[in-house]
Amino acid sequence: MVRMMSESTEKMIKSLKPDLSHLKGVRVIAAMSGGVDSSVVAALLKEAGADVLGVFLNVWEYRREDVAGQGSCCSLDDAYDARRVCDQVGIPFYNMDMRENFRRDVIDPFIADYESGRTPNPCERCNRFVKFGALLDAADKLEADYVATGHYVQRKDDASGVHIYKGNDDKKDQSYFLATTSREQVKRILFPVGHLQKDGTRILAQHYNLLTAHKHESQDICFIPAGDRISFLKQEGAEAGFRAGDIVDRAGVILGRHEGIAHYTLGQRKGLGLPNGPWHVVELDGVTARVVVAPPEDALIHEVVVADVAWLRDVNADECITAKVRYQMKPAACELQRKDDDVHIVFHRPQKPTAPGQVAAFYVDEELLGGGIVSEVVR
């Protein structure tokens, strides 16, 4: 039940709601995570008159002690919250068992990357292969036209097609994680809260009296809710990532020893314990078990090779392109050079290092052009 409001409050609430009137009578799957964002998405769609189906993806077996007090995504408690929100909103609830897919497409590559010296981005793989892949398959089976998620990105359509822009909340913008989404996928994905600040989403959740309105937000990798990556990798048997080896500089001079490359990420500068620093990790070799370090000025990168590239639209020759190769990075001016199936990002100015396995996202101003996976850092 919606609360009674003053005129000023009603005006503010109205300003927060997107225009979803075109979805009246249209079947839409609301991707339910058990969090506040997806809960508001479901409420907005229902109020707009859409034929809404709530779908929760069961991707991983969580121990209750792992998620207690941590905030989680897709745990049993989240499934329970998602079901109760669907009951609140008045829409059907479906629980899809995606554990096998998640293991194959997210967990196993995550482990393999850390064993080989890459730094994976499991959220990107989950979006590409599990969330959007599985949910769009479910949409076909359930005869739904769209899938709606709580991602903080914006979709704008015009005569030339679908365009994806950054979310209005800079701190929550998730366009980076959607850089490898295909054109065919985005045609059927809606982002009803992408224009909002997070505070605005919570205001709407309170307006709809949703039980998730004040729910704690997950900050860690969903299958490692306590943030202990090392314990998880050991538990999963990532033995190759924990072979002892040398820490060397670029000339091969041994500076120290380590207990496994899985303890390190490219660009890392803290916790190295090396003399004559500061040092940055610039290479992780899964074959020789070497950690290569360099001084800060030598750790900067100019060029990155990107594989598995997906384009959301064609690039015009006169457009100024920026790219980011880390989530927290501000997009930097660059040139994109296509070579066979890969794209080389050549930055106009040196950037802090990234790692193979990370996402590279391409932009023109606020618009996401596409992206891929970093396969090599050229130095």
Q: Are strands 290-294 and 245-249 parallel, antiparallel or unpaired?
A: parallel
Same domain, 28 and 123: yes
- Does the residue 165 lie in any domain? no
Q: CA–CA separation, 47 vs 41, rounded Å? A: 10
Hey, which bits of 86-242 come out as E strands? 93-97, 146-148, 153-158, 161-166, 189-190
End-to-end Cα spacing for the chain: 59
Final residue in a domain of this structure, among 272, 297, 322: 297
DSSP letter assigned to residue 196: S
**Helix and strand numbers, DSSP H then E, in the chain:** 12, 17
- Does the residue 216 lie in any domain? no
Adjacent-strand bridge partners of 166 = 153
| Residue 336: closest CA among 312, 299, 361 | 361
Q: CA–CA separation, 123 vs 140, rounded Å? A: 24
Q: Give me the active site residues, please.
A: 126, 222
Same domain, 55 and 201: yes
- Does the residue 49 lie in any domain? yes
| Residue 25: closest CA among 57, 5, 52 | 52
Residue 77 C-alpha from the chain's centroid: 21
Same domain, 280 and 327: no
Final residue in a domain of this structure, among 235, 263, 297: 297
Same domain, 196 and 58: yes
- Does the residue 320 lie in any domain? yes
Task: Sort 30 into a burial class: Cβ within 10 Å, 0-12 / 13-18 / 19+.
Answer: buried
Same domain, 80 and 113: yes
Q: CA–CA separation, 287 vs 294, rounded Å? A: 20
Are 49 and 161 contacting, i.e. CB atoms less than 8 angstroms apart? no
CATH of the domain at 68: 3.40.50.620
Same domain, 25 and 81: yes
Same domain, 15 and 41: yes
Same domain, 33 and 112: yes
Instruction: Considering only the C-alpha atoms of the chain, give the largest distance between any 2 of them, rounded to a whole number of Å.
Output: 71
| Host domain of residue 341 | 299-378
Are 336 and 353 contacting, i.e. CB atoms less than 8 angstroms apart? no
Same domain, 113 and 249: no
> For each of the chain's 379 residues, which pLDDT tens digit applies?
445 566 777 888 999 999 999 999 999 999 999 999 999 999 999 999 999 999 999 987 765 455 454 455 556 788 999 999 999 999 999 999 999 999 999 999 999 999 998 989 999 999 999 988 889 999 999 999 999 999 999 999 999 999 999 999 988 999 999 999 999 999 999 999 999 999 999 999 999 999 999 998 776 688 887 788 999 999 998 899 999 999 999 999 999 999 999 999 888 889 898 998 899 999 999 899 999 999 988 889 999 999 999 999 999 888 999 999 999 899 999 999 999 889 999 999 999 888 899 999 999 999 999 999 999 998 7
Same domain, 255 and 307: no
Same domain, 250 and 128: no
DSSP letter assigned to residue 35: S
CATH of the domain at 357: 2.40.30.10
Q: Which helix H or strand E contains 213, and what residues bound it? A: none
- Residue 209: φ, ψ to 5°: 60, 35
Same domain, 290 and 344: no
Please give the model's pTM, rounded to 2 decimal places. 0.89
- Does the residue 372 lie in any domain? yes
- Does the residue 161 lie in any domain? no
Structural domain total, the chain = 3
Phi-psi region of 252 (alpha: psi -120 to 50; beta: other; left: phi over 0): left
* pLDDT of the residue at 1: 45
